[in-house]
Amino acid sequence: MTRYTNGLFGRTHGPDPLEAFDSLYKREKTDRLMGRYGTRRPALKMPEPRAENAALAAEQGAPAPTARVFLKERVIKSWDSDLPVPEPLKEVPPEPPQQAEPSAEVPEAAIPAEPVAPEAAPPADEEVPLVEAGSFSVQDVGTMPEDADLTDDVDHIVEPRRPASEDAMRDAAVDDFLSMIDKYYKPAPPPKQDDVIEGEVVDPVDVVADVVEMSDKETKKEILPDVTPISLPAVVSDVAIQEGISRSTDTIAAIGLGLAVFQEFKAEFTKGDVSVSATPSRYIHPNTQPDSKFQEVVTDFIFHAYHPRVGISDQKFKIRIRTEIDGHDIRHAKISLVASESDDLIASSFSVNFTATAHSLPKEAMCKIRYDFSGNWDPKGTGDYDFNGMIDLWADGSVHIEQMVSEFDSPTFSSKKIKAVRIVSLKQVSVKKLPGKIRSTRNHTILFEKPKQSTLSDDQARALKTFVDGIPKGDISLVRAGRVPIVVDGFASTKGSVSDNQQLARERRDTVVSFLNDHIGSGAVFTGKSHGELDVNGPDDEESAEHRKVTVRIFTFKDE
């Protein structure tokens, strides 16, 4: 066992361990040594690894497992550099030999024989005596052999700072030092996943504190506060690809729908002790196809009014929302009172007013209407309570209660504050498909007489005019307004290059488009394309009749 009497690792001149650590390694704790407990921070403005600072750059850029190695090397280097050079031993002049004094000769037989002591057995390991030498200790390993030289051991004892095994003692001291760092300077472990705080949701208003999630049955349980707005799921999951929402030939892009127009109509009133006022509204795009499939979605919710009088139960008033939607537009939105499923009032009064505004931008593909409501609940003789909130209606059929704010009161014999008016139920009652229109197509084909012809003859022009005049007035008005496009395709495949045939197909199509624009109106919208030689795959030596044409398609609609 080795005992350190004083100093750092037994050195009298060494600093205190904690003092040495604070002065030399505390600044390294976060960036290098303690990097093994977490992610290292990226070093900023690191010096380039030149000859004079290559070791420093390598040490600072070391990964977490390597940081401990660098610290250990620095401690060892500090240990070795701190060792004083031992002074050379002074040479002692040899003593002159002593001359023997004359004495009377004694016969050899008269000299008594010295008794020989029996050889002692070496002590056990646990009984090895511990001998102090300076600031270190040296263990006696037993009787030395006859030819053993004690010079090395004496020199070792004379040197006060060198233990018997310098490397082993140094490594042990370094390990003790690093263990001390791990024990007293180890940072806190990183937080677990469950301990991570992502932040509280803070809302400046009292958001839907008492709305119950949608269910088939209304609940009568007390509703705990909730800061999350409540929403009903969408009836139309994907308005772009939902089957039956639009039967257009081409997919309707949001830009093709045009800018939506919001309209608000005259408010409808329900008079009496329970008064409900709401403004019907609509929000549709001008280019919505006439054959778009609309659905009627009916949603109910209940205003729960607290009555402070003893013996009188709380009052409930059911509100119904009807919307006609197709995924893009809200063709009709209406809010009304369901009087047959609401409580009757004798002396008290309940009133609420709903006002509609556009909640989405006109350029958005899905229309959204917001209804702001405000009301008053007056249980006769006990004072009245005000409340307000917001409800959003989306063109996909979803309903979102974004806010519900009400004054508070305390029930009898209770100090707990509750809302005087709450929303306690929100559910979809029904979803029904509405009758719409069926799309049909009217086609007209113009055949050019000559292979290189791109202009209309008199007979071709008259035939095209007759075709346009045969479109019903209701359908042609939709075409003139640009709501229903006209599909025009040009074809060409004759002798010449690919670009020549493409140009010929384009000229034929442009000729027909110009004629239709003149006879229908400039508001008409045209779609289609020019089919050259690459599209028709016809022979290159001559143009067949089927490739010498322009086709025109106009859509018409009739009720289902």
Q: What is the DSSP letter of 223?
A: P
* pLDDT band for position 416 (cuts 50, 70, 90): low
Q: Are 337 and 350 in contact (CB under 8 A)?
A: no
Q: How many CB atoms lie within 10 A of CB 293?
A: 20
| Cα 221 → chain centroid | 34
Per-residue pLDDT at 490: 92
pLDDT of 320 > 90? The answer is yes
Is the predicted pLDDT of residue 284 greater than 50, yes or no?
yes
Nearest to 488 by CA among 467, 459, 458, 457: 467
CATH number for the domain running over 437-559: 3.30.1330.60
Output the pLDDT for position 286: 83
CB 520 within 8 A of CB 485: no
Considering only 5-19, 86-100, 282-296, 349-363, which range has the smallest mean pLDDT?
A: 5-19
Average pLDDT over residues 32-36: 50
Whole-angstrom Cα distance, residue 557 to residue 441? 9
**Tell me, what's the pLDDT at 13?**
52
Q: What is the mean pLDDT of residues 81-91?
A: 59
Q: How confident is the model at residue 234 (pLDDT cuts 50, 70, 90)?
A: confident
**Predicted pLDDT of residue 336:** 93
3 state SS for 453-479: CCCCCHHHHHHHHHHHHCCCHHHHHHH
Q: Of 540 and 332, which is predicted with more confidence?
A: 332
Is residue 204 scored above 60 in pLDDT?
no
Token pair for residue 400?
Answer: 């979102």
pLDDT above 50 for 38 = no
Bigger pLDDT: 87 or 259? 259
Look up residue 311 and give its two tokens: 């013996």
| pLDDT for the residue 539 | 57
In this prediction, residue 323 has a pLDDT band, given cuts at 50, 70 and 90, of: very high
Q: Where are the domains of the chain?
A: 1-40+54-81+125-189, 230-433, 437-559
In angstroms, the CA 553 to CA 487 distance is: 5
pLDDT at 7 over 50: no
Q: How far apart are the first and last CA of the chain?
A: 103
Residues 485-504: tens digit of each pLDDT:
899 999 888 777 888 888 88
Residue with tokens 């505390």: 26
Confidence of residue 240 (pLDDT cuts 50, 70, 90): very low
Count Cβ atoms below 10 Å from residue 464 Cβ, excluding itself. 19
pLDDT at 119: 54
* Residue 223 confidence (pLDDT): 38
Mean pLDDT within 353-367? 91
Of the listed ranges 52-61, 371-380, 395-404, the one predicted with least confidence: 52-61
Q: How far apart are CA 171 and CA 176, in angstroms?
A: 9
User: For residue 34, which of 207, 139, 188 has the smallest C-alpha distance?
Assistant: 188
Dihedral sign computed on CA atoms, order 343, 347, 352, 353: positive
The two structure tokens encoding residue 532: 């050259």
Cβ contact 426:399 at 8 Å: yes
Residue 412 banded pLDDT, cuts 50, 70, 90: low
The pLDDT value recorded for residue 283 is 93
User: Strand ranges (DSSP E) for 37-123?
Assistant: none
Strand order in the sheet with 295-305: 261-264, 281-284, 330-337, 315-325, 295-305, 421-433
pTM score, whole prediction: 0.51
pLDDT computed for residue 393 by the predictor:
93
Bridging pattern class, strands 261-264 and 130-133: unpaired
**H or E element that contains 322:** strand 315-325
In this structure, of 132-136, 202-206, 367-371, the range with the lowest mean pLDDT score is 202-206
Mean pLDDT of 251-256: 51
- When pLDDT is cut at 50, 70 and 90, the band that residue 373 belongs to is very high
What tokens were used for 36?
A: 């093994």
The answer on pLDDT for 267 being more than 90 is: no
Q: How far is CA 251 from each of CA 287, 402, 462, 475, rounded to the nearest angstrom?
A: 13, 32, 33, 20
The residue written with tokens 């055949």 in the block is: 447
Residue 14 has pLDDT above 70, yes or no: no
CA distance 100 to 96: 12
Residue 238 to residues 90, 275, 282, 366: CA-CA distances in angstroms? 100, 38, 21, 11
Question: Would the pLDDT of 42 be above 50?
Answer: no
Which residue type is seen at 194? Answer: D
Q: Report residue 280's pLDDT band, with 50, 70 and 90 as the boundaries.
A: very high
| Integer Cα distance of 239 and 257 in angstroms | 13
Average pLDDT of the chain, as a whole number: 70
Whether 482 has a pLDDT exceeding 70, the answer reads yes
Secondary structure E strands in 36-161: 130-133, 136-139
Please give the share of the chain, as a percent, with pLDDT higher than 70: 54
Higher-pLDDT residue of 302 and 383 is 302
Place of tokens 């009739």: 558
Name the residue with higher pLDDT: 215 or 322. 322
Instruction: State the pLDDT confidence band at 3, using cuts at 50, 70 and 90.
Output: very low
Question: For position 55, what pLDDT does the model report?
Answer: 57
pLDDT score recorded for residue 93: 62
- Rounded average pLDDT over 148-177: 61
